[in-house]
Amino acid sequence: MACAEQKIPGTAGRRRLTALVAAAGLGTLVLTGCGGQSGGSNAAASSPEAGAGGGDKTLRVSAAASLTQSFDQLAEEFEKDHPGVSVDVNYGGSSGLVQQLTEGAPADVFASADQKNMTKLTDADLAQGEPKIFATNVLTLVVPKDNPAGIRSVQDVLGKNVKLVTCAPEVPCGAATQKVEQANGVELAPVSQENAVTDVLGKVTSGQADAGIVYVTDAKAAGDKVTTIEIPKTDEAINTYPIVALKASEQPELATEFVDLVTGERGQKVLQDAGFGAP
C-alpha cells in the first residue's frame, strides 16, 4: 500500500496522514517506514530534536481531521511564540489516530473529536493528566455549490439516485451521523463511508458526491465551494473535543504549553472563529 502522506498548502512542515492506513493496522509503518518520502517527516521520526520546519525541536500533535484549519493556525502561532520549535500535526480520524498511538507512534499531544476515542487513549494509560474539553461541534448537510441533485432537505438524500457520503461509524462524525439518523427517524444509504470528515467534504467539493454530512466547521471552511443545508435535531448529537499531553512525550513542557494555548483565550478565539462551539 502506498504511503498516504501529503503536504498541506500554506503550512511549513504540517502533515495530513490519513487514518485509513492506521485503520488497516499500519499506523506505525506510516510514521516510520514511509517517512523517507518526505524530508520533514523523516527527520521528525528519526530525531525529536530535528524539526520538520527546520527548528531545533519538534512538537508532534495528533489531531482530529476537523481541526485542520484551526490547528494549522494555532501551530503557526505556537512556533512564533517558541523560536526554534516546529509543530508537526498529524491529522486523521480520531479512531485511526488512537490506533497509531497505542501501537507506539510518537506524539506529544492528542486532540480527539469525541470522548469515546479519548477514553481509549486514557484506558491505555497513555495520557499525562486529565484531558480537557476545548470545543464542541455539530453536523450539517453539504452539497456542491451548483447542487446538481436539487437537494433541499435531509429527506431529499434518501432517494436511491442520490450519491450521499458520510463518515464511517467508528469515527466521531460517523457515530454522530447515526445519532442524527435515529433522532430524525430516517435511514441513510451512503454510497461510501469515509475515515475522516475531510474526506467526506472532499468528495462533495470535487463533485464525486451529491451530498455529504460533515461538521458545521468543515462546511464553513469550504466557503462558497458548498451549499449548507441544516439537519434537524443535530443538538442531540453534539461532539465534544478533548485534548491531552501524552506520557511518552519527548517534549513534555512544550506539550503542556500547546494544550494551554488551545484551551486558553487565544485558542478559544481561533476555534470559535472557525465555527466551533464553546466547551
Which residues define the annotated binding site for molybdate? 66, 94, 197, 215
With H, G, I as helix, E, B as strand and everything else as coil, classify residue 138: coil
Could you tell me which residues are annotated as the binding site? 66, 94, 197, 215
Closest of 52, 33, 229, 235 to residue 136, by C-alpha: 235
Q: Which residue type is seen at 147?
A: N
What are residue 226's DSSP bridge partners?
Answer: 144
Residue 198 Rama label (left phi>0; alpha psi -120 to 50; beta): alpha
Q: How, if at all, do strands 239-246 and 85-92 pair?
A: unpaired
Q: Where do we find the cell 523560536? A: 83
In whole angstroms, what is the distance from residue 145 CA to residue 273 CA? 23
Whether the CB-CB separation of 228 and 92 falls below 8 Å is answered with no
85, β-bridge pairs: 57
Separation between Cα atoms, residue 209 and residue 200, nearest integer Å: 9
What's the rounded Cα separation, in Å, for the pair 90 and 108? 11
Place of cell 506529544: 108
Residue 96 burial (C-beta neighbours within 10 Å; 0-12, 13-18, 19+): buried
Q: What span, in angstroms and rounded, lies between the C-alpha atoms of 259 and 263?
A: 6
